[in-house]
Amino acid sequence: MELFELKTNIREGRGKNAARVLRNEGRVPAVVYGDNSETISVDVLVSDVEEAFKLSETAQVVVNLKVGDAEPQVAIIREVQTDPARDDMRHVDFQIVSLDKKIKAVAPVETVGKAAGLEMGGLLQVIRRQLDVLCLPLSIPTSIKIDVTDLKIGKSIHVDEIKIDGVEIPHNVNFTVVTVVRPKGAALDDDEEGEGEAEEA
């Protein structure tokens, strides 16, 4: 995976006035932190962060982060804060990561195939649009593909059934990820009632 190089400057100023000056220059305040390093205040071009998101093949953006004059290090964009009224970028959190240590990330759910239940008037529902994953930084899946071809009305695919080499999906409850439901008002058959009781249990 080729990573986008994102350059940051060490940030000296603090407070609202300093942040306002940065934003007027097309930059935004940010911090860089990691397990074995102190937190560093930096600033970064808004356009570079936007470009990193645009070029990323995964929902969790991984970059080669250059802090000042230091050598680039692999980092993930852990959080981007935006102004809800103006929808502009206000702050960015970068986390330095180790290439041989698993991290927590997110990946979108993607269904593959046409569910059998659709031919009988059923509706495919994706209950979880994305899932948390534990994996190496360069092994974050672009998506979690779920084959729904054999899914009939009243049947579901649960998180325990999803297996991806090298990727863990942490969870405490075996929740539903994808299901096929009958349109509202239609009567349930015995199989669907059993599935519903199993969900409640």
Q: Do 196 and 107 belong to one domain? A: yes
Q: Could you tell me which of 144, 118, 124 has the C-alpha nearest to residue 60?
A: 144
Per-residue model confidence (pLDDT) at position 189: 57
Per-residue model confidence (pLDDT) at position 188: 52
Q: Do 76 and 157 belong to one domain? A: no
Per-residue model confidence (pLDDT) at position 1: 66
Per-residue model confidence (pLDDT) at position 6: 96
Q: Do 19 and 92 belong to one domain? A: yes
Q: Do 107 and 195 belong to one domain? A: yes
Residue 48, domain CATH = 2.40.240.10
Strand order in the sheet with 123-126: 123-126, 176-181, 156-158
| Count: domains in the chain | 2
Domain boundary among 55, 71, 96: 96
Residue 107, domain CATH = 2.170.120.20
Per-residue model confidence (pLDDT) at position 200: 44
Domain that holds residue 90: 4-96
pTM as predicted: 0.79
Q: Do 114 and 74 belong to one domain? A: no
Q: Do 129 and 44 belong to one domain? A: no
Mean pLDDT by 10 residues, the chain (201 residues): 89 79 91 88 95 93 94 95 85 95 95 94 95 95 96 96 95 96 66 49 42
